[in-house]
Structure 1
């Protein structure tokens, strides 16, 4: 451990994500599901600032996001990340974390996971523990399925619980327009609704796979950098249960697709909706139309890099 010349505050930026493909396996005996997903990191970021302290603390600032309901005790994922790193590295002090939130809370875009990934990298830099990316990835996987991807960024295939990552080739940039939710949803509740949905429609749908895989046409579309091809292959097993729990999302999807989106998809467990545009002009027109319909809209691009130290 080397803290000579260590900065007084470290700023790390980590991206939110879109699941451009998400297939969910059958529920297992422990109540969890294996998944096969194609992640894309997009240019909507969490900013984490880490400063030296004798104990562990976190505060949030959110702009348009109401952060008042977020836990700031030891259950907070960013605090858990910092404590985990300290235990692994034998570090005996603490850290003061300040998090500026832009990714919606409980919105299906991995904002909490981005906070945790950023906290790992920020503390590793602040404390001079120098664990390296492989060890940080191992710690990230202990914290949650989306945390390793927030650390890695880019485009990747996730299997197992989503934390077993392999990079995916993605050419060029994709243009996305996000409709951000006013209220979040519980990811476990969406998974429970998926199980109920499958039971209700057992006679009409194929049984879920034990070990799902990502469809080849998704990988081909990403490699080609072709938004039209990708629009044809967007898929999310959690979309039907998310729409069942939040019926208003269906009208949002309709508005987007009526105003030039190539396709729309619920991101992860929702309720954020991601619309894919053909190009920048199409994304700008779609952004204007959705804003005029009184939705909270953000235009982003992907893929982008994972958690990175920012030189302020």
Structure 2
């Protein structure tokens, strides 16, 4: 048996000492006072044959003190439980250990200065990124990476949305396109979250082909193994090489790919991503017959508390019957 608050076990001995004192000193005072109403000589006559019978109630008081002390200490046991699932099952577990985290990765290469129907790519991307961050749940940490052929801006996951929004407004296009550096940075940020079993995801936005395809692709398997999906948004017409590249990233990591050929489509894609981020959960899938032994903590405070109540009732009955003193 284990205890949540073992230091409270000391309450048992302390309560026992107090009850013993009241048992010895208090009995004579209250018993004599009550009996003197019936016989004025009771205070001088003592308790007589009642003393041996009082050993029983003393034992009950000590037992009561022990039960109360153990109940306060939060006793529990750990039992092994066999868990089996057949067919396909999905477990949704709310995060209790660490905050979920999302990293927004935005391409700010020179081509982001180009126009699409409805506006300039970088300007629409800033609006869409702002929309995503503003709609993220309050309990989600958000990070931002802006890249071209290098990392231009780096803001690790934080709960300070104002910092993220200000950083988004500062994004300006320029340079080439390389995916390795931002993906490595996002991975290094999110690994600690996974150690605490927190849900994480990456939103990756780009409009072009990377110059380091062979290098960055080696990172995708690590995202997959850690359970960090990458949701990609391609800014440009569907069916070209850039779209296929982002589909590869999403498919290899367990994410989804969105293609936006216009400002309206880009904003729509980010609204959908915001909805997904609003219900971030730890997800575990089981296919076929899956099973295992898990440890489960079973609290016992209630059992000791009920036992203490029962002992108290017995004690009250015994004391009242013996001497008319309630406790």
> Scaled by the length of structure 2, what TM-score is found?
0.21
